[in-house]
Amino acid sequence: MRKKRVGTDRYGNRRAFPEMFLKPNPIRKNGTEYITLHKNGKGKRHYVNRLVAFSFFPEAIQDPDRPVRHVDGDRSNNRIDNLSFYLHHQDFIWSPIKERRLREELTEDSFPLSSSDIEFIRWAYRPRSREFGIPSLSKMLDVDSKIIKQVLEREVIELR
């Protein structure tokens, strides 16, 4: 049931305008709250934390894909002092599990290649080459092809 608000249009004619209101939506399984806004009969779901961030943070307008983090971890608490922006590479700072996994990945014992092997892979790799492709480099260095891909896809930081 919609209420009507009486007002005038831009030509001075009296007119009744329908007031719009937001219906409460169920909270998603991960705890985030959302609302559904409709335009031309089509609804689009918007997260409340992102709407609050776009209203109050100037960084949101500059980089709209940047994720919003709840400081206290409670996703239903969408107050402005509980929200902050962060970069994807800062993600491991707030997650001790991810930080531990990254350190385990990059320690000397768990990473089977030396720094000279890593340099050789980056220098010799040729995409789709029989001689210097991923399968041949993995056979040459006697390691799994996943490790060769890992060296090629991201910079390996050695903790020595």
Q: What single string gives the DSSP state of each residue in the chain?
A: ---EEEEE-TTS-EEEEEPP-PPPPPPPTTS--EEEEEETTEEEEEEHHHHHHHHH-HHHHH-TTS-EEETTS-TT---GGGEEE--GGGHHHH-HHHHHHHHHHHSTTT----HHHHHHHHHH--TT-TTTSHHHHHHHHTS-HHHHHHHHHSPPPP--
pLDDT at position 23, please? Answer: 65
pLDDT at position 36, please? Answer: 83
pLDDT one-digit tens code per residue, 99-141: 666 666 666 555 678 888 888 888 888 887 888 888 998 898 8
pLDDT one-digit tens code per residue, 10-38: 777 777 766 666 666 767 777 788 888 87
pLDDT one-digit tens code per residue, 35-46: 888 788 888 888
pLDDT band at 158 (very low <50, low <70, confident <90, very high): very low
